[in-house]
Amino acid sequence: MARSVVSPHQASPPAPRDVVELLKPITWFPPMWAFMCGAVSSGQPLLAGWTLVIAGIVLAGPMVCGTSQAVNDWFDRHVDAINEPDRPIPSGRIAGRWGLRIAQAGTLLSLCFSALMGGWVFAATVLALAAAWAYSAPPFRFKSSGWTGPAVVALTYEGLSWFTGASVMLGGLPGTDILLILALYSLGAHGIMTLNDFKAVEGDRATGLRSLPVTLGVARAASVACVGMALAQVAVIVLLWLWGLAVSAIAVALLLAAQAALMPQLLRDPARNAPWYSATGVTLYVLGMLAAALGLGGYL
């Protein structure tokens, strides 16, 4: 008896809960936080522009970040079949080409929504979405490089989200001081993204993805991540101090000192302790972002 074959184009629409899981709400926090840092760094009253703040948070998190997760899971479905086979696409809960359709729809909706928020916001959204597709999709597939991939994610999650928050509140291009600080925190976030690669070493190695834990080894990759995060924050501290924002500079320095106290534990067993450091050291890192933003905005 012949077995019937369901075409990818005939697959049933996925359940809403599976779509939400595909968009990974837990990953929305970093860009939403960076957006808020950008809004604070503008120095504009947040309550007066609360509608813009809410719209920007929705754009940075559920829309752009959620879309990037759908794009990544679609083009990583073969890798996820090794690393995390229970995810919606490799498990078959989002079947056929529905994963790609969701990514395409999210891209279109994000572009339309951002166009209503001003030219600079639209430009940042275009760049963020282009980076999301280039990160995961051929022919670029930036994620195949342990240097380029984390840099692209760090730029979009931290830098472009911060830029969007500031430009929304200012109604134009942020000043040089804001641009320098968001650039430094984006550079430092390369280390945060490298820590995320520790959970997928086996699958990355099997599928040819050259993440830093694969190419440098777990121990050296962890050291590179720690040094990168620390040096970026040192530069932030120096700039804040030179600009007369002493309270903000001291706050970032104290948070960096706390991170440095935790780093030896991470380096003793990076593969095991990377999730722990992401919950502790990275939290201190993003609190430093807020401290810097408060200084730039005139609150500290």
Convert the pLDDT of each residue in 135-164 to its tens digit: 999 888 888 888 888 899 899 889 999 999
High-pLDDT (> 70) share of the chain, % = 93
Convert the pLDDT of each residue in 255-268 to its tens digit: 999 999 999 999 99
pLDDT value of position 10: 54
Q: Where are the alpha helices (DSSP H) in the chain?
A: 16-23, 29-41, 50-58, 66-75, 77-83, 98-115, 119-136, 148-154, 161-170, 176-196, 201-207, 212-215, 218-242, 246-268, 270-296
The answer to whether position 291 is within a domain reads yes
pLDDT value of position 17: 93
The answer to whether position 7 is within a domain reads no
The answer to whether position 9 is within a domain reads no
The answer to whether position 79 is within a domain reads yes
What residues form DSSP beta bridges with 145? Answer: 210
Convert the pLDDT of each residue in 157-209 to its tens digit: 899 999 999 999 998 899 999 999 999 999 999 999 888 777 666 666 766 66
Helix 176-196 crosses helix 218-242 at what angle (to 10 degrees)? Answer: 160
The series of mean pLDDT values per 10 residues for the chain, 300 residues long, is: 42 88 92 95 89 93 95 87 85 90 96 93 94 91 85 90 94 94 95 80 67 81 93 98 97 97 93 89 95 94
Structure tokens given for 266? 């991470």
The answer to whether position 5 is within a domain reads no
pLDDT value of position 76: 86
The boundaries of the domain holding residue 134 are: 15-296
The answer to whether position 182 is within a domain reads yes
pTM of the model as a whole: 0.88
pLDDT value of position 230: 97
pLDDT value of position 112: 96
The answer to whether position 51 is within a domain reads yes
State the total domains in the chain: 1
Q: Which residues contact 270 (CB under 8 A, 6 or more apart)?
A: 198, 213, 218, 219, 221, 222
Structure tokens given for 257? 């000192």
pLDDT value of position 208: 65
The answer to whether position 180 is within a domain reads yes
